Amino acid sequence: MTQGNLELTVVPSIGGRLMSIRLDGVELAFINSDLAGRAPDGSAEQWRTLCGEWGFPLWGGGKTWVAPEASWPSGAPHRDLDSGPYDVVRTWCWTESMGVELQSSLCRQSGIRVIRRIELSAATGVWTTLHRLVNCFARTIECGIWDVLMLRRPGKVTLRLGAEVDQWRERIVPFPDKGPVGDIRDSRFVEVANGELSTPCDEAVELKLGVMVNEGVIKVDLNFPEGRRHLVRRFAIVDGGIYSHGAPRRNI
């Protein structure tokens, strides 16, 4: 899908992914070059090769995961939803917008079906991703939608803390088993200035933390050899909502 200087590429066969985001010809999304052009063939041997050092294939791009991570089977995202083929339910190209709606197969591990709708506005050049989880089992499933987008490095991720900036340490939810955040007050991964909290993403270090925010806006400043690029992501904050990971969360 192309609008002005923005080009989005969706790959239905690999988890219905938004695999590529190109702005002025520069790729913003992380795409695992080792897996480019490949797809699962159903064999256990090939699956192990695709997974590599991880417990699942790290394809890259943007996808829908089912939260919380603690409920993942064998510690990996649901295979049918993350790496399986999605059906293209419909596409459209109207005066107002263009887009695609995708639907996963029924997940054999969870009984969940994922529906992803990606729409690119002609007026603003902004794209919107709508996620739906459909419970196809005759039982209650406690879970949430986890919108994941992998971007290239180096860059900096920033969120606005709001009026409670003086209590910023209390507004961060660290995940000590998911990276070297340690004591937030002494961590080099977190910076606070002018009412904003930012995380520099320069190194290949995995860490996960949650941030209690009132405004659902994430700013990403990317500093590539091809030049600087900026990305803004907006999402709804549900007042009093129950989040599967304990807070509106960002993964670095």
CB 15 within 8 A of CB 59: yes
Quick one: pLDDT at residue 185?
61
71-85, 96-110, 153-167, 179-193 — which is least confidently predicted? 179-193
User: pLDDT-based confidence at 251, cuts 50/70/90?
Assistant: very low
Break the chain into its structural domains and give their ranges: 2-149, 155-251
Segment holding 156, helix H or strand E: strand 155-160
Average pLDDT, the chain: 89
Q: How do residues 18-48 score in pLDDT, each as one tens digit?
A: 999 999 999 999 999 999 999 999 999 999 9
CB 76 within 8 A of CB 26: no
Joined together, the tokens standing for residue 102 give 């995708």
Mean predicted confidence (pLDDT) in 136-143:
90
User: pLDDT-based confidence at 252, cuts 50/70/90?
Assistant: very low
CB 21 within 8 A of CB 42: no
Mean predicted confidence (pLDDT) in 45-68:
95
User: pLDDT-based confidence at 229, cuts 50/70/90?
Assistant: very high
Percent of the chain with pLDDT strictly greater than 70: 91
The distance of Cα 162 from the centroid of its chain, to the nearest Å, equals 24
Which tops the pLDDT comparison, 237 or 113?
A: 113
Distances (CA, A) of 71 to 7, 82, 105: 35, 15, 20
Which tops the pLDDT comparison, 53 or 239?
A: 53
pTM of structure: 0.91
Task: Label residues 176-205 b or e (16+ Cβ within 10 Å = b).
Answer: eeebebeebeebebbeeeeeebbbbbeeee
- In total, the chain counts a number of residues equal to 252
Q: Residue 125 pLDDT more than 80? A: yes
Residues 6+ apart with CB under 8 A from 108: 80
CB 244 within 8 A of CB 216: no
CB 189 within 8 A of CB 206: no
83-87, 90-94, 176-180 — which is least confidently predicted? 176-180
